[in-house]
DNA sequence: CCAAAATATGAGTGAGTACTCACTATTAGT
DNA sequence: ACTAATAGTGAGTACTCACTCATATTTTGG
């Protein structure tokens, strides 16, 4: 009557039809937008018949919403704890690089989420609470600690954390959303280095500090 | 046979059916996305019959492209020349505020352009060249001058200008794209103040400078 | 005022869409 | 090997959409 549940499986989303369809959906949705994509295309991309899709998802919209559960968590919710004794410069650069890697690996999903979050409030809420606020919170907490310890100047960590995120984000948007390398190709390493440099210089409490390299 | 052209008119896009339809299109497109919007809705919003739309635009796509000509220029291409003797702090804050006002006044158009630029390369190119690169160029030049004069540290102005833009942009995206004031309501004045502060502190060549307010 | 030109209308059309369902293929239990 | 349950299929269905066009209204010029 009901299929046996294997010990370790519970919700095996990593594999199987469902995952296969969601993977295809991310690709097609991100290329054409939700409204512009057709279920026929998704089926083709997934290598299944159109009807099969509706065995796993009642509606097209439900496919989109299917992305915010385990799927997103699996793709984007990795966490990093650099509770190290390394310098801020190193830690921040590492965090940023890690984040960028994650985004680049899932750029289709990210573009899709940002684009469609505008139009689907249910998607927006999940995306916000599961990904954005959580990520923002980590960086915010890090900065708040430094402010409290007096290492950083007394700047609102909610603003500072977002400012730093924004500095990096704009280069991702620039490249992945709009222009590719058509107008300017930025060197990622140099961008990160510069951004962290401006940020730390801007927020550190002044002490005898190293001068900027000429 | 052909209608008389009044002396000063040439292309009067500021008024008339065309403008009326474009205004409606911005509203509907930005709410539903290009694919999700229907010509019927646009017609209704514009207060004309559906057929009338196709008297002014051959296709739906052409309505979208109609937005990038004089329409965009008129809405977003205002320029500011703060060739002043005021302090950087004042100038930058003024520039940012001016830019934010412009964006807020045309937020529907901005959202639409950012969203649809992904899917329509013709729109993307116009938007990029007419708006984005031009705006970026102004700030870039400003910073480049300061770097050359030795006021700012030797930081790539292309990166620095975008970093500053990103710091501000993320708060606009945060509010207008995703969350409104649902999670955190930022005070615009404070955000600008803080961002400029971090940026200038981060990029200024060190001299006897005012300490951060406690 | 009138006719002719320009403009506006909205029911109609064909293409294309999300979704259904009667059917086929595969798998699992014995 | 047989059977029942499950999974997969793709042509068909009801509907929506961009776009057309015959007709109606407004504007123009004399």
**How large is the average pLDDT for residues A133-155?**
93
Q: Which residues touch strand D (CB under 7 A)?
A: A 1-3, 17, 48-52, 54-55; B 3-4, 37-40, 50-51, 54, 58-61
B152 bridge partner residues: B204
Measure the CA–CA gap between B13 and B22, rounded to whole angstroms.
10
Residue holding tokens 């060190």? Answer: B206
**How large is the average pLDDT for residues A69-86?**
75
CA atoms lying within 13 Å on the CB side of residue A180: 5
Give pTM, 2 decimals: 0.87
**Confidence (pLDDT) at A211:** 39
Q: Which of A50, A16, A45 is nearest to A28 (CA)?
A: A45
> Does the C-beta of A17 come within 7 A of strand C?
no
B184-209 pLDDT, tens digit per residue, is 889 999 999 999 999 999 998 875 44
**Confidence (pLDDT) at A109:** 95
Measure the CA–CA gap between B161 and A172, rounded to whole angstroms.
15
A93-127 pLDDT, tens digit per residue, is 999 999 999 999 999 999 999 999 999 999 999 88
In this structure, the dihedral spanned by the alpha carbons of residues B99, B202, A101 and A186, taken in order and rounded to 10 degrees, is 70
**How large is the average pLDDT for residues B78-90?**
76
pLDDT band, residue A131 (cuts 50/70/90): confident
Measure the CA–CA gap between B8 and B29, rounded to whole angstroms.
32
Give the residue on A whose Cα is nearest the Cα of B172.
Answer: A166
Give the residue on B whose Cα is nearest the Cα of A133.
Answer: B183
B17-53 pLDDT, tens digit per residue, is 999 999 999 999 999 999 999 999 999 999 999 999 9
Residue A202 has pLDDT above 50, yes or no: yes
> Does the C-beta of B12 come within 7 A of strand C?
no
Residue B97 has pLDDT above 90, yes or no: yes
Residue A211, both tokens: 């001068």
Cβ of A101: how many Cβ atoms within 10 Å? 11
**Confidence (pLDDT) at B69:** 84
Residue B14 has pLDDT above 80, yes or no: no
Interface of A with B in 118-157 (CB under 8 A): 118-119, 124, 127-128, 132-133, 153-156
The separation between the first and the last C-alpha atoms of chain B, rounded to the nearest angstrom, is: 74
**Confidence (pLDDT) at B4:** 33
**How large is the average pLDDT for residues B91-107?**
92
Please state which of the ranges A2-16, A176-190, B11-25, B162-176 shows the lowest mean pLDDT.
A2-16
Measure the CA–CA gap between A6 and A18, rounded to whole angstroms.
17
């Amino acid at each position: 009557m009901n299929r046996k549940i294997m010990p370790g499986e519970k919700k095996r989303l990593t594999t199987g039809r469902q995952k296969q369809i969601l993977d295809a959906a991310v690709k097609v949705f991100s290329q054409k937008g939700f409204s512009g994509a057709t279920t026929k295309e998704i089926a083709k991309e997934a290598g299944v018949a159109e009807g099969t899709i509706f065995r796993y998802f009642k509606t097209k919209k439900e496919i989109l919403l299917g992305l915010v559960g385990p799927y997103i968590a699996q793709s984007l919710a990795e966490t990093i704890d650099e509770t190290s004794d390394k310098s801020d410069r190193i830690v921040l650069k590492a965090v940023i690089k890690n984040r960028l890697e994650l985004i680049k690996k899932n750029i289709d999903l990210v573009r899709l989420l940002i684009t469609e979050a505008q139009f689907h409030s249910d998607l927006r809420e999940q995306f916000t609470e599961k990904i954005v606020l959580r990520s923002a919170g980590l960086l915010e907490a890090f900065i708040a600690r430094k402010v409290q310890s007096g290492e950083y100047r007394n700047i609102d960590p909610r603003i500072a954390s977002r400012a730093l995120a924004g500095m990096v984000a704009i280069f991702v948007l620039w490249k992945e959303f709009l222009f590719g390398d058509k107008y300017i190709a930025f060197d990622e390493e140099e961008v990160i280095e510069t951004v962290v440099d401006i940020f730390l210089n801007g927020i550190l409490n002044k002490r005898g500090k190293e001068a900027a390299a000429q």
